[in-house]
Amino acid sequence: MQKGTIRVQTENIFPIIKKFLYSDHEIFLRELISNAVDATQKLKTLSSIGDAKGELGELKIDVKLNKDNKTLTISDNGIGMTAEEVDKYINQVAFSGAEEFLEKYKGQKEANIIGHFGLGFYSGFMVSAKVEIFTKSYKEDAKPVRWECDGSPEYILEETDKETRGTDIVLHINEESQEFLEADRIKRILEKFCRFLPVPIFFEENQINNTQPAWTKKPSELTADDYRNFYKEIYPFHEAPLFWIHLNVDYPFNLTGILYFPKIKQSYEIQKDKIQLYSNQVFVTDEVKDIVPEFLMLLHGVIDSPDIPLNVSRSYLQGDPNVKKINNHITKKVADKLEEIFNKDRKEFEEKWESLGLFVKYGMMTDDKFLEKANKFHVMENVDGGKFYTYDEYKEAAGVLQTNKEGKLVILYTTNPVQQHSYIQAAKTKAYKVVKLETIVDAAFINQMEMKWENVHFVRVDADIPDNLIDKAELVESLLNKEEEEKLKGLFNFQVPELHVTVEVKGLSSEAPPVVATRPEFMRRMKDMSSMSGMGSFYANMPDEVTLTVNGNHPIYQKILKEEEAEKQQMEARNLADLALLSQGLLKGSELTSFINRSVELLGGGQKSKIILEA
């Protein structure tokens, strides 16, 4: 029997491991099983080149609990170790540089510990009062050995009885970590970290992993059903995806994976952190913001790369040129796939635009390289539905008709086709093209595209009277004289709480509404973005600015101006104004109640009547 001291320059290695190395204690199981997988894969490699004699048998890993003995055992029948190898790889903690590790990283934050030291085995001491190793090498005539350590620098290394090749790691769980003696807890950890490892893993006689997940196969080996079934395996409660992108790169970095475009029916369904990062089929994290471009964080799927630099705990990415290269590659693959679908089957692409649009617009705002490609397949849906325009197609369709006096193309849009219906109809009578921009990202998208696209201005269809939307039309001459216009303007001289109302009397066509309520494009846009951000701002706290454009050419004013009863005249004018405000969703609370009561009174021929509104 050999006794000795683990060879490090300080006795503080175990406290450092327990306190600084791993923030989450459940990681120990991932590390120990990863080591067992490595041992098994090494044996396969040696056997394939003739360096390992005899039958390999069924290669697998077993995880066993013994609550009575308070032990958790991880067993493999892989390469095993000789006494000399145990001394080299276990006793010389972090063989590749323990002294440098202790000198450089002692006391550092977890994020600064770089994973170059092979310390995974020692994570077992986070949950153990004692750790034993029983191992027998694959080498002929190798003697089995037992190693024991209680978390101090002292260890025991001796010969033992073990008939089978491989290694058993026996953890004697300490009092603070009794949760790891519960079968359900262990099963959840295995399913989280080990569900796709390449060697069969058994717990309570059941295999818990899929050793050949879809991303490890060639695209030519997979059918559409294979991709859908794999998606269901990782996201069992989600609808089938729209489509997917299979990543398979071996130069200048190694990267495999499958990214899925999920169905998103409503803007509020957007969820990030659904992409899982693996390293050689070992789950690492679902925090992939440095690897995947921000706009693609809405995707689902799996990325696997051994070239992504991680710290010892694998919880943090480290700065490295490969991360940027992988990020750029994923962006290009997604753009190429979208362009391919658009060109190959535009109808299918347009049918999926409700979900795809969020990804595309987000990417166009945040990534100029993606923007350059996306200009070819980004589409805007006509308000009537069924017709989609790329930017170039909209420009061609709108033509000179929607070019303002500054030479800019004016893209007219609606955020709510139902609420803004009357404005849409008024724009369509002038042959304007109106598109739908009604998702959660559109307010920001509009602002960004006005800066990124040349000579473009977006105007919401209710931002002005139709004659002014393009900022070039001449108004129809008013049929009223100056005195009548002033009297009419006076009838609309009132204020509404929380609104700043401006009144103008203009000559519009007789078919136009008697009053049109509009809100300045800039102010409304700023208020919308403030409210969506969920944060107060200068604009959010300002009253809504509203312009009431009174159409002096509407026949109804000939009747109102001749009305001899002043009170009724004012009520009729106010009702017309309230109807316009109602169309903008700006008539609320007591003002809405007053409008209803006033309408009933007018219908009653001047009788004072009220209605009661019930919630």
CATH code of the domain covering residue 491 = 1.20.120.790
- 164 in a structural domain: yes
Examine the domain organization and report whether 166 and 40 are in the same domain: yes
Final residue of a structural domain among 173, 203, 233: 203
Residue 524 has a pLDDT of: 73
Q: How far, in Å, CA of 80 to CA of 167, rounded?
A: 5
Closest to 120 (Cα-Cα) out of 310, 256, 305, 399: 310
Domain count, the chain: 4
Task: Give the position of tokens 């000559």.
Answer: 507
102: pLDDT strictly greater than 50: no
In a domain, 291, yes or no: yes
* Residue finishing a domain among 148, 172, 203: 203
Q: Is the pLDDT of residue 477 over 60?
A: yes
Residue 357 has pLDDT above 80, yes or no: yes
Q: Which residue type, as a one-letter code, is found at position 219?
A: P
Residue pair 540/483 in contact by the 8 Å Cβ criterion: no
pLDDT at 103: 52
Residue 456 lies in a domain: yes
Three-state SS at 55: coil
Q: What's the confidence (pLDDT) of residue 543? A: 73
- Select, from the ranges 254-258, 308-312, 545-549, the one with the highest average predicted confidence (pLDDT): 254-258
The average confidence (pLDDT) of the chain is 84
Whether the pLDDT of residue 611 is over 50: the answer is no
CA-nearest of 14, 198, 192, 201 to 119 is 14
In a domain, 280, yes or no: yes
| Lowest-pLDDT range of 11-15, 121-125, 311-315 | 311-315
Beta partners for 243?
A: 261
Residue 99 has pLDDT above 60, yes or no: no
Q: What is the pLDDT of residue 529?
A: 66
CA torsion 121-127-128-131 (nearest 10°) is -10
Q: Which residue has the higher pLDDT, 99 or 114?
A: 99
> What CATH number should be reported for the domain holding residue 27?
3.30.565.10
Long-range pairs of 562-565 with CB within 8 A, sequence gap ≥ 24: 565/606
Residue of 472, 444, 468, 420 whose CA lies nearest to 582: 420
Q: Which residue has the tokens 């009062």?
A: 129
Q: Are both 288 and 148 inside the same structural domain?
A: no
For the cut 80, the answer to whether the pLDDT of residue 468 exceeds it is no
Domain limit, last residue, from 468, 495, 511? 468
| 249 in the same domain as 107 | no
| 6: pLDDT strictly greater than 80 | no
* Domain match, 254 and 298 both: yes
**Tens digit of pLDDT for each residue in 77-93?**
999 999 999 988 888 76
- For residue 117, what pLDDT is reported? 41
Do 97 and 197 sit in the same domain of this protein? Answer: yes
> Is the predicted pLDDT of residue 318 greater than 70, yes or no?
no
Residue 165: which residues within 8 A CB-CB, separation 6 or more? 77, 78, 79, 80, 136, 137, 138
CA distance 537 to 526: 9
Is residue 122 within 8 Å of 144, Cβ to Cβ?
A: no
Strand-pair partners of 282: 279
User: Which residues partner with 249 through β-bridges?
Assistant: 255
Kindly report the number of other CB atoms within 10 A of residue 210's CB atom.
17
- Whether residue 450 has pLDDT greater than 50: yes
Q: Are residues 46 and 150 in the same domain?
A: yes
Confidence check: pLDDT of 519 > 90: no
At 9, is the pLDDT very low, low, confident or very high (cuts 50, 70, 90)?
Answer: very low
- Largest Cα separation within the chain, whole Å, is 118
Q: Which residues have C-beta within 8 Å of that of residue 61, sequence separation ≥ 6? A: 33, 36, 37, 40, 74, 75, 76, 199, 200, 201, 202
24 plus 63 within the same structural domain: yes
**pLDDT on residue 319:** 59
- Angle made by CA atoms 187, 306, 232, in degrees to the nearest 5: 45
pLDDT > 70? residue 331? yes
Separation between Cα atoms, residue 36 and residue 352, nearest integer Å? 45
More confident residue, 304 or 14: 304
Q: Which CATH number do you get for residue 284?
A: 3.30.230.80
Assigned token pair, 165 = 């090749």
Residues 115 and 32 in one domain: yes
Average pLDDT over residues 303-319: 65
Provide the phi-psi class of 57: left if phi over 0, else alpha when psi is between -120 and 50, else beta. Answer: left
pLDDT at 412 > cutoff 50: yes
Can you spell out the DSSP letters for 190-213? Answer: HHHHSTT-SS-EEETTEE---SS-
Q: What is the pLDDT of residues 376-394, one digit of tens each?
A: 999 999 998 889 999 999 9
- CATH number of the domain that residue 388 is part of: 3.40.50.11260
Residue 158 belongs to some domain of the structure: yes
**What number is the average pLDDT over the span 257-285?**
79
Q: What is the pLDDT of residues 127-143, one digit of tens each?
A: 999 999 999 999 988 99
The structure's pTM equals 0.75
612 occurs within a structural domain: no
Same domain, residue pair 320 and 411:
no
- Helix or strand holding residue 428 (H, E): helix 421-428
pLDDT tens, 241-259? Answer: 999 999 998 888 889 999 9
Cα distances (angstroms) measured from residue 523 to each of 312, 529, 563: 51, 10, 37
CA distance 196 to 225: 19
Average pLDDT over residues 345-374: 92
Return the structure tokens found at 570: 């004012």
Q: Are residues 31 and 87 in the same domain?
A: yes
DSSP 403: B
Q: State residue 2's pLDDT score.
A: 72
Is 374 part of any domain? no
How high is the pLDDT of residue 380? 96
Residues 16 and 130 in one domain: yes
> Is residue 193 in a domain?
yes
| Residue 224 pLDDT > 60 | yes
pLDDT for the residue 73: 98
- Cβ neighbours of 290 (radius 10 Å): 18
Boundaries of domain holding 543: 482-525+534-603
Q: Which of 13-27, 137-151, 320-334 has the lowest mean pLDDT?
A: 13-27
Instruction: For residue range 156-198, list pLDDT tens digits in order.
Output: 999 999 999 999 999 999 999 999 999 999 999 999 999 999 9
Looking at the structure, tell me whether residues 487 and 410 fall in a common domain. no
Q: Residues 388, 389, 392, CA angle at the centre, nearest 5°?
A: 170
∠ CA(131), CA(111), CA(193), 5° rounding? 50
> Which residues neighbour 360 within 8 Å (Cβ) at sequence distance 6 or greater?
338, 374, 377, 378
